[in-house]
Amino acid sequence: MLEEQNSGERGGEAGIASQPEKNLPKTTVQSTSKHERAEFSSVRNSVLFLGAVMLVYILYVVLSGQFDEFMGALAGVDLLWVARGALCMVCYYLLGVVGYAVPVSRDRNSPLGFRDLMSAEAAGIFFSYLSPGGAGSAPARIYRLTRAGLSVGAASALQFTRYIIYEAAEGIFAAIMLIFRYQYFVETVGNFAVIGLVLFGAKIIAVAGLIAFCVFPRFVRRIGNAAIRILEKTPLKLDFAHWRDVLNNQSQEFSQGFKESAREWKMMAFAVLVSMSQLACQYALGWFVAHAFSFHDADLVTCLAAGSMLELLTSAIPLPGGEGGAEVGFATLFMPIFGSTITAAYVVWRFIEYVGPIAAAVPLLGLRSRGGRNVYQRIAVVRHAFERFLQGLPGAKRLKGSRGIKVMPKKAGEKGDRK
């Protein structure tokens, strides 16, 4: 019955989802395809770079005389705890999909289905890990969303909203961890804690700037255009026309999309909680690795705090995968836990947190909903089933003459309907 009720609402969107490229301007399709080719070229270079880094790392272990100790530590790893850590990263991915689904679920006319969101999240992980500074993540996600039927502007607005929520959650999580474990860092890693505090401050400034970009677009355009005019007078060779176009044309669309989402403050708060839960899955990997090496007295909160600070450091390194910062940061922050096994622990942690997700993301990149139910309708089905379950419980109140709860689509112009 629900399928029949939604068939009319969804029927006109099936063509969009099944052949989205035909509904986009030719120049847009060419631009996004060209950008994807450039991203894959960057990925190829990143893989070569990471391979070279791994080779140097292996040579260092061998030449420094740590090879026997390294292999002995790996031989004693509890694979069950490694599998649990990998499952935690699966939860990280699924929560990322939920993070997209939260704002999309409010739009009954959206062409996006859950498979589209799974593809977008997988593309974000894959290109973020294999592009310098994670710069390829947002364009790759936007491209996947446009293939599902969204316009470039709408896809950019959705991605921008998701990015702001994620960054805000990262800052809030880091603040909580610093409150509970800053003294521990001062006592164990000394001045390195100051670096973490500086990176946290930079994160807060970045989030504030992003919010200002969305909330005060006119002010941002004035400041941005003034800065571009100054930079144009310098020897820097940048595509100033492109950045002026982004600033003047897309800032307003981003602002409208963000403000529309911000009106649903409960939804935004829930999205922040989802993102914080997602981050907790990633930051907790150090705790799983500690148990894999039989350090069962490792404190979960301490590992979460160390993981949070490590992520701030890694994201500040403009190299694929944060190479350099990841090694130094892990060795410094987790040395009190792992001691002499820190090298082997880093390899296991890096495999779970970095190599595994890259490999797992590849088969998910091509997922597409292809005209099935969108996110709103999928959630409506679950809500309908849950309400029927509640109605069937002993003592549940039922409306007189009701034969269950019906989920009916709203008609155009009805109060609360998006225009």
Q: What percent of the chain has pLDDT over 70?
A: 74
Q: Residue 97 pLDDT more than 50?
A: yes
Cα separation, 341 vs 402, in Å, equals: 65
- Give the ranges where 64-216 is alpha helix by DSSP (H): 67-75, 79-104, 114-129, 137-147, 152-189, 192-215
Please give the Cα distance from 257 to 238 (Å, whole number): 28
Count of CB atoms situated within 10 Å of the CB of 384: 16
**Mean pLDDT, residues 385-410 taken together:** 61
294 DSSP assignment: T
Place of tokens 């950045």: 243
Confidence of residue 200 (pLDDT cuts 50, 70, 90): confident
Q: How confident is the model at residue 52 (pLDDT cuts 50, 70, 90)?
A: low
Question: CA torsion sign, 325 to 331 to 332 to 333?
Answer: positive
Instruction: Give the mean model confidence (pLDDT) for residues 128-156.
Output: 84
Whether residue 243 contacts residue 252, with contact meaning beta carbons closer than 8 Å, is answered with: no
Q: How confident is the model at residue 404 (pLDDT cuts 50, 70, 90)?
A: very low
What's the whole-model pTM score?
0.75
- pLDDT of 88 > 90? The answer is yes
Nearest CA among 360, 275, 277, 290 for reference residue 330:
290
Q: Which of 86, 105, 160, 115 is nearest to 352 (CA)?
A: 86
Q: What is the mean pLDDT of residues 175-194?
A: 82
CA separation for the pair 144, 62 (Å, rounded): 43
Check residue 390 and give left, alpha or beta (phi > 0: left; psi -120 to 50: alpha): alpha
pLDDT interval class at 190 (50, 70, 90): confident
pLDDT at 397: 61
Q: Could you report the per-residue pLDDT of 16-33, keeping only the tens digit for each? A: 333 344 444 444 444 445
Q: Which residues of 162-196 are buried (b: 16+ CB within 10 A; e: fewer)?
A: bebbbbbbbbbbbeebbeebbebbeebbeebbebb
Are the C-beta atoms of 333 and 306 separated by less than 8 Å? Answer: yes
Q: Is the CB of residue 173 less than 8 Å from the CB of residue 276?
A: yes
Considering just the CA atoms, what is the radius of gyration of the chain in Å? 24
pLDDT, residue 55, reads: 67
Compute the distance between CA of residue 75 and CA of residue 61 in angstroms, rounded to an integer: 16
